[in-house]
Amino acid sequence: MRRPVVLLLHAFPLDRRMWSAQRRALEDAGYDVIAPDLPGPEADTGFGPWAERVLGEVEDDFIPVGISMGGYLTFELWRRARTRIPALVLADTRATADTPEQGLARDDAIRVLGEDGFEPFWDGLAPKLFSAGADPEVVARARAQAAEQEITTLVAALMTLRDREDSTSTLATIDVPTLVVVGEEDALTPPSDAADLEDGIRLARLVRMPGAGHLTPLEQPQEFNRALLSFLDEAAPGGP
């Protein structure tokens, strides 16, 4: 039986290149991989339009691996195409919508991008993305990648994040094997959020990664890859 495609859904404010270490490991293990850029060339807003575009790019069954913003998109993909999803991975994400305070913080980030540009925006966000002991080279690569994004793309993503629906009620509908990953030092979606996902999804398994903040695949790529490949080999056995 042919394995499902692995769909890698990246975090804000990065792009598909954040998955380079995971993509290599997955392809070496014989998986077909698709990693789209979000929100896409038109910079649409809303996880609904994003999901429709992504579903148009993926044939047959697939396993979404969504981190942070990509995790929110994974919930929308599940609501629209659950019969095509035999398993899923949720990394450094949560089911709840933004609180009013978090929504205001998104608005402020949009204002900073529009009035002051990328540098002040990144300076405010970066400490929340990484652990205290993050490798400076990893941080520098992420910054360079984020700096290449168009301001319109970043704003569209922030608006989509701000306005997303609460997915808490979706958790009980997820009836496939689910890997939940969180960095022990994740300041944006802390381990308590990951524990809520584990509690709400019947077949969920939680892996906590020491020495990682909000971007576990970047800070702990080898540990992330081991957990991911082990899960996929169990959840999606088969061959190329």
Q: Could you give the number of structural domains in the chain?
A: 1
CB atoms within 10 A of CB 111: 12
> Is 240 part of a structural domain of the chain?
no
CATH number, domain containing residue 40: 3.40.50.1820
pLDDT for 96 equals 98
pLDDT for 34 equals 97
> Is 163 part of a structural domain of the chain?
yes
Question: CA-CA distances (angstroms) from residue 146 to 11, 136, 142, 176?
Answer: 10, 15, 6, 33
> Is 65 part of a structural domain of the chain?
yes
Domain boundaries, position 209:
5-235
**In this predicted model, what pLDDT tens digit does every residue of 108-131 receive, in sequence order?**
999 999 999 999 999 999 999 999
pLDDT for 173 equals 98
> Is 218 part of a structural domain of the chain?
yes
Write out residues in the chain with pLDDT < 50, as ranges: none
Token pair 């999803």 in the structure block, residue: 85
pLDDT for 236 equals 77
pLDDT for 41 equals 85
Phi, psi dihedral angles at 182 (to 5 degrees): -150, 145
Name the strands in the sheet holding 88-91, side by side, starting at the edge strand that comes first in the sequence.
33-34, 5-9, 62-67, 88-91, 178-183, 204-209
**DSSP symbol at 2:** B
Task: Give the whole-angstrom CA distance, residue 64 versus residue 70.
Answer: 9
Task: Give the whole-angstrom CA distance, residue 126 versus residue 199.
Answer: 30
**DSSP symbol at 97:** P
> Is 151 part of a structural domain of the chain?
yes
> Is 81 part of a structural domain of the chain?
yes
The one-letter code for the residue type at 5 is: V
